[in-house]
Structure 1
């Protein structure tokens, strides 16, 4: 029986199937079922939360975009674009059992040294952190709430 970790996110009707003893969750962005890992559980909840609560369009979201960092191939968990194709939000998701520490912020900051995205989201599904980057002033500000797509 599938018994997911309760998250500090709105519930949604996840499409979960079981094949050959393995659970899969439907990813609305890639239009296919993915192995249901704890991190994927968090990511799929966030996709729905971003869509329904913050009005970020699914068509402007991209999962696991590749990038090269220090000659290594890395993958971002989620990037969101505006209508002009400019990257506006970078998200890093962890499994609920993974505590959000400085290490997670270093990871997303390293990815963002390539992307240069003004809004960052780090979450393990329980704890959520939002940060606005001011590249001109070379500083960041933690936010208490994530801005909606239209703000």
Structure 2
């Protein structure tokens, strides 16, 4: 798999039916190792190990319904009261981050009302803080550490 612009982490990998699988510590099972899953697993570890977010506040592939269509957030982090705080949209490293990517995560946030949005392809990371009063977002240099 491609080297990412994130710290290196150790993952449990195995082969099954000619596919490489990666163990997801949060969901406690193996998933097919796609490029997007590679980014998701690295970013989750980054949030836990570097930014100190508690595992108990992180949900992966959380389902939501928007305009009668089922969608899934890649990573959703809740605050201590159980409210959505951060949405992370992960793309494969080969996928360029475009306005469509921001539109996708913004549509999720119309429903979730999270305070921060993160878009990453593992190589480039974009951090936004929501400004609900002015109905837009402000780009940040980094996401805050868990406090």
What's the Cα RMSD here?
0.8
Normalization by structure 1: what TM-score? 0.95
- Pairing partner for 1:144 from 122, 141, 147: 141
Q: Which of 12, 19, 38 is the equivalent residue of 1:41?
A: 38
Structure 2: distance between partners of 1:134 and 1:29: 30
Give matches, 1:1-151, under 5 Å: 4-150=1-147
**Cα offset, 1:137, TM superposition:** 2.9
Shift of 1:38: 0.4
Structure 1 CA distance, aligned partners of 2:137 and 2:72?
Answer: 23
Give the TM-score, by structure 2 length.
Answer: 0.97
Segments of 5+ residues of structure 1 without an aligned counterpart are none
Q: How many residues were matched structurally?
A: 147
Distance 1:75 1:105 in 2: 15
Gaps spanning 5+ residues in structure 2: where? none
Deviation >4 Å, runs of 4+: none
| Deviations, residues 32-81 of structure 1 (Å, cap 9, x unaligned) | 11110100000000000000110011111001111111111111111001
